[in-house]
Structure 1
Amino acid sequence: MTELFGQTHDAAGLAARTGNLSQIGGVRLVTCGDGLERGIRMLEFRTGSGLSFSVLVDRAMDIADVAHKGRAIGWHSPTGFRHPALHEPEGEDGLGWVRSFSGFLATCGLDHILGPEEVDASSYDYPRRNTVRHGLHGRVGAIPARLTGYGERWEGDRCILWAEGVVTQAAVFGEVLELHRQIEADLGGNDIRLTDRVVNAGFSRTPHMMMYHVNIGWPLLDEGSRYLAPVGDVVWTSHAPDLAVQDTGYRICTAPSATFREQVWEHAMVADTGGIVPVALVNDRLGLGIVVESRRDQLPCALEWQNFRSGLYALGIEPATHHVLGNRFARDRDEMIWLEHGQSRRYDLRFSVLDGAKEIAVAEARISAIARQPESAFPAPSGNFAPLDHQIGSAG
């Protein structure tokens, strides 16, 4: 059954009340027509509950806008949603990615995440290419998807809004990796479900890394907004040793500042009995929040990105396959994921809107029951990068 506007309806009841389901919700394919976004295909989702979001088909099927009852949740940067043809993946010593960085979800990977690096490429067995240079957060985020389907389907009296596509990141004498992405939401619901499968479609042994850069903006992000997470240990920070240099701890968000310098934290999260790690940002004044759920056996590392600079105001919740120190660090510790031909990895995420103080309190109690995060705003990082075993429970 579907709950909408305080009533419960079956499929026949909704059909009797609407000339077309699009009156209350659904998925619509549109194409942007102006500026840097011109030509980008976008899927607009409306669940009828007040949740709306858009999927950028031509940018790895990432999620651009997210809003609930007119209140923005997803972050927009000054770059806009640039058409992939304008992307500069090799530019600015590997930092060209920041000229196309915007939206609620920016997928990072598929063979590299985190800062620019040059690493060994001998697994591809091509004499002219001994190394490969990676820019910030990899290449996948600016690759158009092949849209394999979208729409609304009924499973009994439950209506599911859905979209599926395939993103191919490939090079001759290099990686041939496919991202198979499925996005779903229920009519009447406040959740977005994302399922990814990354497949090595080539015949060379290929490295794989993945990170989900989930970016939250104003008004959900505001002075006093709270970061809630089952933090078992604070592992690393970008601004040690003086953690209080900007008077901004990991737990409570501050107002925008023209001189703020980004801060990154890596936390070791504790999962619940089902292996789920829920991380939330909540705004008590608005009675609004978002929970990002990931599986610890799929994404064992967790980063928090604080970008509280004026005009760039954002907070990132970032589940990842690898530690914050990047590609070579993973290789040196024998923690890189290597995919042989046909092998795959699966990732499952859920983004849930919290509407009202009661839902915020329930989420906070749930997270605290898993692990009580450090009370200190400036917990000293332990430097304990736990060994990663990518063989457990995460293969596709």
Structure 2
Amino acid sequence: MPKLYGETLSRLDLARMSGDARAFGGVRLMTLGDGLERGIRLLEFRAGSLRFTVAVDRAMDILELEWQGVPLHWSGPSGLRSASLHEYEGEGGFSWGRSFTGLLVTCGLDHTLGPAEVPASNYNYPGVKTIRHGLHGRVSTIPARLTGYGERWEGDRCILWAEGEIRQAATFGENLTLYRRIECDLGSQEIRLSDRVVNTGFLNTPHMFFYHVNLGAPLLAEGARYLAPITDTPWAAHEARYRDQGVGYQTIPAPQRHFSEQVWQHETKADPQGETHVALVNPRLGLGFMVTTRKDQLPCLYEWQHFQEGGYALGIEPSTHHVLGDTAARDRGEMIWLGPQEERRYDSRFTVLTDLGAAEARIRAIHPQPQDDYPQPSGHFRPLTGRPQKE
């Protein structure tokens, strides 16, 4: 039964208290009308203390997230920008940053990480020898076809939900579809995300995928801490200046005047159910946020630190591939090749934390993380197995 306003209430209780139970929560479709966000459809989920919005026309990514009115998401300087204004191949492949904002930004579907040029022989078209990819791929700026949304009661449980399809396709290129379902229960602290990426074409197609989960102030603040069951840190983008900025992987500083981006890849251990839990906790607020994914689906983890004044963000980034990139994935035999009508599934949960001690104990019980804020990068990228090469 929903827990709302300090009470546990049945469906009948809610019906007695209002002419429309959607007064207490529901899913509402709206369209924005001004500036760069003009025309973008949003779904607003109201689940009691939890409120979040889904940008339908931006791959059904989660834009805003609030807990009892406190924002937990990051808002980038570009703001929410209509997909029709995005220039994917601009600025040497880095124009992605002009459309980068919100809690969840999905990366893929056939490429992630930095701009790259890769062979296109798998598409069997003589006129296209290579394909150029921009930063983190195309999917995050593709509008979804909204296939349904609303509220569903199962006894005294009310499930808020939405579903959509995001098609990334080209003649003489990939034909991939992301089928996305988002759910949360009325009165809960958790969002459930179910993704299915399908090769809806008939040519072997590379697939790479990760979630760029971005947290901002006031949750992100000096003294907040990054929690994860880290067993190794294979890589740090900033290894040559590892301690120069005085910022390690674990303890969050205040916004910095001249901070230069830091990125880490961590190796993590899963719990007995095969899940990996990563969190940011803020003891001063008594709030935190946890990302839960399956180790067999998203085996790699990046940590993005952007502590520059005016941009202040932390990214939790579970991924299908190592940070080495597209070409290395092919060379190492770790690229995911989807054959005709083949698919990959990704099941994740995003949870607002109010019992920080319990969350930290849960993660520590899986594996104690390094106490040193500067664990020495090992350079060891474990083999990602079970990925037949089909090119």
TM-score range, shorter chain: over 0.9
Equivalent of 2:373, from 372, 377, 387?
377
Distance 1:168 1:241 in 2: 40
Contact 1:337 1:390 in 2 (8 A): no
Distance 1:196 1:272 in 2: 21
Contact 1:180 1:198 in 2 (8 A): yes
Q: What amino acid sits opposite 2:248 in the alignment?
A: G
* Root-mean-square deviation over aligned CA pairs: 0.9
TM-score, length basis structure 1:
0.97
Are residue 133 (structure 1) and residue 132 (structure 2) matched?
yes
For residues 64-95 of structure 1, the C-alpha deviation after alignment (integer angstroms, 9 at most, x for no partner) is: 00010111100001101100000110100000
Distance 1:131 1:385 in 2: 27
SS at match of 1:241: helix
Aligned positions of 1:134-153 closer than 5 A = 134-153=133-152
Equivalent of 1:363, from 338, 359, 368?
359
Q: What amino acid sits opposite 1:62 in the alignment?
A: D
Matching residue of 2:21: 21
Distance 1:391 1:348 in 2: 19
TM-score, length basis structure 2:
0.98
CA 1:244–1:336: 2 relative to 1, 3 Å: same
For residues 133-153 of structure 1, the C-alpha deviation after alignment (integer angstroms, 9 at most, x for no partner) is: 000000000000000000000
Deviates more, 1:382-391 or 1:268-277: 382-391
Aligned positions of 1:181-200 closer than 5 A = 181-200=180-199
Distance 2:9 2:260 in 1: 50
For residues 22-57 of structure 1, the C-alpha deviation after alignment (integer angstroms, 9 at most, x for no partner) is: 211110000000000000000000101x11100000
Aligned positions of 1:247-266 closer than 5 A = 247-266=246-265
Matching residue of 2:101: 102
SS at match of 1:126: coil
Q: What amino acid sits opposite 1:244 in the alignment?
A: R
Contact 1:122 1:131 in 2 (8 A): yes
Distance 1:110 1:339 in 2: 11
Matching residue of 1:92: 91
Q: What amino acid sits opposite 1:144 in the alignment?
A: P
Matching residue of 1:386: 382
Distance 1:243 1:21 in 2: 54
SS at match of 2:173: coil
Q: What amino acid sits opposite 2:32 in the alignment?
A: C
Matching residue of 1:332: 331
Distance 1:21 1:310 in 2: 43
Contact 1:161 1:185 in 2 (8 A): yes
Matching residue of 1:38: 38
Deviation at 1:391, TM superposition (A): 4.7
Q: What amino acid sits opposite 2:30 in the alignment?
A: V
Aligned positions of 1:1-396 closer than 5 A = 1-48=1-48, 50-355=49-354, 359-391=355-387
Distance 1:221 1:347 in 2: 27
Distance 1:241 1:56 in 2: 38
Contact 2:337 2:387 in 1 (8 A): no
For residues 218-241 of structure 1, the C-alpha deviation after alignment (integer angstroms, 9 at most, x for no partner) is: 000001110000000011001113
Deviation at 1:2, TM superposition (A): 1.8
Distance 2:367 2:184 in 1: 29
Distance 2:347 2:59 in 1: 16
SS at match of 1:346: strand
Contact 2:182 2:192 in 1 (8 A): yes
Q: What amino acid sits opposite 2:40 in the alignment?
A: I
For residues 80-128 of structure 1, the C-alpha deviation after alignment (integer angstroms, 9 at most, x for no partner) is: 1100000110100000100000000000000000000000110001111
Deviates more, 1:184-193 or 1:20-29: 20-29
Deviation at 1:390, TM superposition (A): 4.2
Distance 1:185 1:103 in 2: 18
Aligned length: 388
Unaligned runs of 5+ in 2: none
Deviation at 1:19, TM superposition (A): 1.5
Distance 2:148 2:5 in 1: 29
Deviation at 1:257, TM superposition (A): 1.2
SS at match of 1:93: helix
SS at match of 2:247: coil
Contact 2:333 2:387 in 1 (8 A): no
Deviates more, 1:3-12 or 1:224-233: 3-12
Deviation at 1:14, TM superposition (A): 1.1
Q: Structure 1: which 4+ aligned runs deviate by more than 4 Å?
A: none
